[in-house]
Amino acid sequence: MFFAIVGPIASGKRTIANYLVKNLKFEEIYLQHENNDNEIINLTSKNLIDCNNQRTTIGKEIIDNKDALIFKDTQKFLDYVTINWTDNYVLCSECFSSDLLLFKKRPTFLLVSVNAPVIKRYKRYQNEFKSQNNDSKQLLSLEEFCKLDDTQMFDKGLINIMNKSDLKIDNSSDSIEEFYEVLKEKKLNDYERLRPSWDTYFMTLSFLTARRSNCMKRKVGCILTKNNYILSTGYNGTPRHIKNCYEHGCRRCNSGASMGTHLDMCLCLHAEENALLEVGREKSKGATLYCNTCPCVGCTIKIIQCGIKEVIYALEYRHDEMIKGLFEEAGVSIRQYNKKKNFNIEKS
């Protein structure tokens, strides 16, 4: 695995790198460009202080480890981690935005962003500064710190890189020990972060399918699979050739009717219905159904009748216990997608 840790000054990048090295057998690797210092992002409080003390250009980190892996060429850096893909590496030092976008093409790469409240980050910077017995005259004021922070985040585009990260971590912890516990719970070295499980894969697709919904009331998506192959997809909305629900195609939904009322007047097909209709009973028999929302009673009886063997859902619904009872009686397995076990689905 190859991690790159990005974030604003004193957000905890170095702490994450140290955790990976000490606890998960990662090796830190460095990329130091000789030119274009004004493009460098990912400044840490340590190299900010080092730069002030040694009057060097901001971004040139002082590396104490003589045996450290240091590269000055991005392609050589990338070739090295690619060839040694069975080893674990972490990049926490200076880099360009273009470096990270290039790294994201690699299947073993994970971009991790970390952030924390600005006042808390400034206090961390102060503590780091004082721990090195520096001249207090060189200590940045809060305003100077914020200006430098804004330059990194907005002028140099760090915020855009953070938005593209595969994992976002909040470091509001008051101590390193507390933050280490947070990192331990994240299971950072789990390979499913690089290649999702079948559950995560299909559930992510169900949320994506839900975005095609034209229903005014709720966005629901469904994926019907067998032997990990997709049989059909479905989302909720009015039938073909009928005006979209959000275009006043369904009077019931557009009237603001309460959940579960006047369903006999609703023109919207449910996501599960659409997926089942697409393949029919014979093909759906023994299949697995993924849905971003727990099926309603009406869809439950259709799922049972079609011979579905397992239902996996993400979001709770009002009649969950009744629905689970029906599935149990019919011998259909039902379970809720475990976000913590399978990791969060982005933007779900």
Which residues lie below 8 Å from residue 316, measured CB to CB, with a gap of 6+? 294, 336
| 328 in active site | no
Element (H, E) at 176: helix 176-186
* Structure tokens, 205: 């697709």
C-alpha dist (Å) from residue 188 to 10, 180, 183, 257, 318? 20, 11, 7, 45, 34
Question: To the nearest 5 percent, what fractions of the chain are helix, strand and coil?
Answer: 45, 15, 40
Residues forming a β-bridge with 189: none
Which one of the listed residues 28, 61, 94, 272 is annotated catalytic?
A: 272
Residues forming a β-bridge with 293: 315
Residue pair 37/92 in contact (Cβ under 8 Å)? The answer is: no
Tell how strand 89-91 and strand 333-336 pair up.
unpaired
- Largest Cα–Cα separation, the chain: 78
Residue positions annotated with a catalytic role = 272
